[in-house]
Amino acid sequence: MWQFLILVSVIISIYILTRISNQSRKAIKGNQIETEIVKCKVCNLNIPQTEAIRVDGAWCCAKKHIH
């Protein structure tokens, strides 16, 4: 009888731990912000759009690439 109770408690513990783990993964994924990647017209470096500089419809990765 004790073995059965131990087995049930282990199964319940594993179930609870997996639920907690899945909830934390969903919370982390929900906080991510999607950002578009653009290419510098001078050096072809891929950079997030939030860090790039737009010049005449094209993207640059640094101020020194602006002509």
Each residue of 2-44: pLDDT tens digit?
Answer: 899 999 999 999 999 888 877 766 665 655 567 889 999 889 9
Shared domain for 23 and 50, answered yes or no, is no
Shared domain for 39 and 62, answered yes or no, is yes
Shared domain for 13 and 38, answered yes or no, is no
Count structural domains, the chain: 2
The reported pLDDT for the residue numbered 13 is 94
Question: Cα–Cα distance between 28 and 12 in angstroms, integer?
Answer: 25
Shared domain for 1 and 18, answered yes or no, is yes
The reported pLDDT for the residue numbered 46 is 92
Q: What range does the domain containing 61 cover?
A: 34-67
pLDDT interval class at 65 (50, 70, 90): confident
Shared domain for 4 and 17, answered yes or no, is yes
In 3D space, the residue among 32, 55, 56, 11 whose CA is nearest the CA of residue 64 turns out to be 55
pTM as predicted: 0.47
The reported pLDDT for the residue numbered 32 is 59
Shared domain for 9 and 23, answered yes or no, is yes
